[in-house]
Amino acid sequence: MPNPMLQFEIKRFVKLDLFGLDASFTNSSLFMVIAVFLISLLTIWGMRGRALVPTRMQSVAEISYEFVANMVRDNVGSAGQKYFPFVFSLFMFVLFTNMLGMMPYSFTVTSHIIVTFALAAIVFIGVTIIGFAKHGLGFLKILVPSGVPAMLLPMLVVIELISYFTRPLSLSVRLFANMMAGHAMLKVFGAFVVGLGLIGGWAPLAFMVAFTGLEILVAFLQAYVFAILSCIYLNDALHMHH
């Protein structure tokens, strides 16, 4: 059986050394560039007509805008409209890299924890800075749950502190684990299809078709969850009611 982890290998296309840092142009970078290019194409070229009755491309662009705008409005409220462009970029980037990864022989950027962790760290650091900028040192009250007996408080503050600092970790590992596990499983079942041959290979093939459908759902769902959790963290920092 071929190694199911081989598909996540990073290949260097253009070697680039930036002051001792390895900044090579890899297949991962290539698919990030493709994703950003496709998102720009969808939003800029799709909205070029600005027609009252939208074309198909404009319709898709408007639907994705409305989808994220509703998400921000429901979870953060009117104070969050300032951060809508960030959440929209985050959602579209994760969605497009996940979906590009579903094409055979392509590369899934989000199946590497360093990529998802970088995204999650941007969210975490940004939200913390917004919280301190808005509330000053009062933002530390986010660690103190309200309506708790004073005796339990020291323990709960420690728990809240840990849970606050594991946010970027759980946010990144959730996306990374879902993408990696799905692709590794598809690879394993693909090996079953080849191994069982023409006679027995149909059963795992049928399973694979169904599982590919589930993976496309998961690809969308994880982008949605990533964006909505960013909205929830943002809401915590802006409004602070526990």
What residues line the site for other proteins (CB under 8 A)? 5, 170, 173-174, 176-178, 180-181, 184, 218, 221-222, 224-225, 228
CA dihedral 124, 93, 222, 180 (to 10 degrees): -100
Q: Which is nearer to other proteins, 118 or 232 (CB)?
A: 232
Q: How far is the CB of 5 from other proteins (least distance, A)?
A: 6
Task: Find the radius of gyration of the CA atoms of the chain.
Answer: 22
Q: Which is nearer to other proteins, 177 or 196 (CB)?
A: 177
- Residue 14 pairs in a beta bridge with 25
Q: How far is the CB of 147 from other proteins (least distance, A)?
A: 25
Of 120, 107, 97, the residue nearest 26 (C-alpha): 107
Q: How far apart are CA 169 and CA 149, in angstroms?
A: 30
Secondary structure (3-state) at 17 = strand
Look-up of token digits 């985050």: 90
Q: How far is the CB of 57 from other proteins (least distance, A)?
A: 26
Q: How far is the CB of 110 from other proteins (least distance, A)?
A: 13
Task: Give the pair of three-digit tokens for residue 150.
Answer: 């004073």
CB contact at 8 A, 123 and 90 = yes
Return the number of other C-beta atoms located less than 10 Å from residue 133's C-beta. 10
Q: Which is nearer to other proteins, 134 or 174 (CB)?
A: 174
Of 7, 49, 56, 50, the residue nearest 27 (C-alpha): 7
Q: Which is nearer to other proteins, 38 or 225 (CB)?
A: 225
Q: Which is nearer to other proteins, 72 or 218 (CB)?
A: 218
Q: How far is the CB of 173 from other proteins (least distance, A)?
A: 6
